Structure formats: C-alpha cells, structure tokens
Amino acid sequence: KNEVEQSPQNLTAQEGEFITINCSYSVGISALHWLQQHPGGGIVSLFMLSSGKKKHGRLIATINIQEKHSSLHITASHPRDSAVYICAPDRDSNYQLIWGAGTKLIIKP
C-alpha cells in the first residue's frame, strides 16, 4: 500500500466549479505540502501546513492530523488552474517529501 493516496487521479470540471482534491497518508508526519505542477514541468509550492486550515486567494487547504487526511479546495475554478496537484507529506527525519501520485485537473471554459 502506498504511503500517500490521492483522489481523484483525474478530474475534469467546468469553469466556476468548486474543486476538492483529497489526500490520505499512512505514516506519521510533521507537515504536509500541496504542490502544483504546470504542463511545462515547473513546480510551485501552494501550501505547507501542519494543522488546521490555510487560505490563499481561491485556494484552501485543510489537514486533520488525527485522521491523516488533507484536502485542497479551489473555489470559482478557472482554466488557468489546470495542472497536476500533488500532496507531499514531510518525512520529518530528513526533510524528504513523500510524493503522492498527483491529481490531473482540467478546467474547461
């Protein structure tokens, strides 16, 4: 069983829809990262969180440490949000990230 499970693997939605991507993990962690990989390959750090909820613009990330679960939400989705979103918990022993398989999101106009 993978240490990190993301769902869904692929998601296609219409512009304006509310998007939720889920992440479950099976190991103890100190923090969890949500990352965005653009079609060209570049990776942007969206959030790093260890408890509760963070919000940045139209993006919201939540984490429940007890349940080992995190979610990324996108409100009022836009075609420019189309990318691969990756959940990556922190392996706190050596600062390495444990990589989820990613969720490929396509927002249609």
Partner 1 sequence: GAVVSQHPSRVICKSGTSVKIECRSLDFQATTMFWYRQFPKQSLMLMATSNEGSKATYEQGVEKDKFLINHASLTLSTLTVTSAHPEDSSFYICSARVGASEAFFGQGTRLTVV
CB of 58 to partner 1, least distance (A): 17
Give the interface size with partner 1 as a residue count (CB under 8 A). 23
Residue 65 touching partner 1 (CB under 8 A): no
Q: Does position 95 bind partner 1 by CB under 8 A?
A: yes
DSSP H or E segment with residue 9: none
> Residue 89, interface with partner 1 (CB under 8 A)?
no
Containing 27, the helix (H) or strand (E) segment is none
The reply to whether 92 sits near partner 1 by the rule CB under 8 A is yes
Taking the complex as a whole, the smallest distance from the CB of residue 45 to partner 1 amounts, in Å, to 5
Give me the residues paired with residue 63 across strands.
52, 70
Helix/strand/coil (H, E, C) string of 35-91?
Answer: EEECCCCCEEEEEEECCEEEEECCEEEEEECCCCEEEEEECCCCHHHCEEEEEEEEE
Give contact residues for partner 1 (rule: CB under 8 A). 30-31, 33, 35, 40-45, 48, 86, 88, 90, 92, 94-97, 99-102
